[in-house]
């Protein structure tokens, strides 16, 4: 059974704070790691797809790193803004895409 | 189309009735996925299609659930004899192919079984 775990479950930060959350996944049979952003009342939106150990991707103030040997990925948000408030989902692909429970971020102005 | 569309957007039904949920993927996407999110839970994989074939049906919760895809495009998820625990948001996603490429999600169908 493939378990994808995310922590923390929820996070409240002030506008301007930088934050990061963790996604852990079994390192065996790894193929790809996906990050999605899911705003309330909207559909999940793909942020990154990462495949290589040591991979680092960036989109604006959001970046992610990948360690396939130890089975974790970090998502960083620099200078959080209220519009960053959402649930951030990671998903590991090993045959099929298995999602974690998500980290819900609330950024207070 | 511009994105993945799903219909209906909301469905209220009585326990024991059958429901059909529809998904129109992005044109050219060969892979199509069904997920559901029950209240307070994460995304739960149900089934995916590569073309019209469903290589993995392992997520379907019971034999009351079935799905089909025709013409490599539209998919329908059918729930027979609905139960209250079937109440959830049912999300469909599509991608260029199964596996690596990112998935593009539809707006979901909110199903409430009374």
Rounded Cα gap, residues A62 and A84, in angstroms: 10
Partner-chain residue, chosen from B58, B99, B105, that has the shortest CB–CB distance to A44: B105
- Please state the separation of Cα A12 from the chain's center in Å: 16
User: Which residue in B15, B31, B32 sits closest to B23, CA to CA?
Assistant: B32
Yes or no, beta carbons of A43 and B103 under 8 Å apart: no
Rounded Cα gap, residues A3 and A18, in angstroms: 27
Q: Is the peptide bond before A8 cis (omega within 30 degrees of 0)?
A: yes
Residues from chain B contacting residue A102 (CB–CB below 8 Å): 42
Q: For chain B, give the percent of residues with pLDDT over 90.
A: 78
Compare all CA atoms of chain B with the CA of A94 and give the residue at the minimum distance.
B99
Rounded Cα gap, residues B29 and B13, in angstroms: 31
Yes or no, beta carbons of B105 and A43 under 8 Å apart: yes
pLDDT in tens, A20-70: 999 999 888 788 999 999 998 888 999 999 999 999 999 999 999 999 999
Q: Pairing mode, if any, of strands B10-13 and B109-113?
A: parallel
pLDDT for A97 equals 80
Assign A95 a pLDDT band (cuts: 50, 70, 90): low
Q: What is the DSSP string of A17-46?
A: --EEEEEE---TT--EEEEEEE-TTS--EE
Yes or no, beta carbons of B99 and A32 under 8 Å apart: yes
* Mean pLDDT, chain A, integer: 92
Tokens coding A24: 């852990």
């Amino acid at each position: 059974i493939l378990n994808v775990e995310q922590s923390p479950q929820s996070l409240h930060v002030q506008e301007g704070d930088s934050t990061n959350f963790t996604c852990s996944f079994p390192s065996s049979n790894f193929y790809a790691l996906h990050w999605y952003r899911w705003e309330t009342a909207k559909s999940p939106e793909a942020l990154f797809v990462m495949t290589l150990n040591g991979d680092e991707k960036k989109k604006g103030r959001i970046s992610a790193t990948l360690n396939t040997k130890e089975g974790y990925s970090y998502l960083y948000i620099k200078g959080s803004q209220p519009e960053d408030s959402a649930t951030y989902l990671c998903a590991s692909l090993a045959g099929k895409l298995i999602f974690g429970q998500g980290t819900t971020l609330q950024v207070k102005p | 189309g511009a994105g993945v569309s799903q219909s209906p957007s909301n469905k209220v039904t009585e326990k024991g009735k059958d429901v059909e949920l529809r998904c129109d993927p992005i044109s050219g996407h060969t892979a199509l996925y069904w997920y559901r999110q029950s209240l307070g839970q994460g995304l739960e994989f149900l089934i995916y299609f590569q073309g019209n074939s469903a290589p993995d049906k392992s997520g379907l919760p019971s034999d009351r659930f079935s799905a089909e895809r025709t013409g490599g495009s539209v998919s329908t998820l059918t729930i027979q004899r609905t139960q209250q625990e079937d109440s959830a948001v049912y999300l469909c996603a599509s991608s260029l192919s199964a596996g690596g490429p990112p998935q593009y999600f539809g707006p979901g169908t909110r199903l409430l079984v009374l």
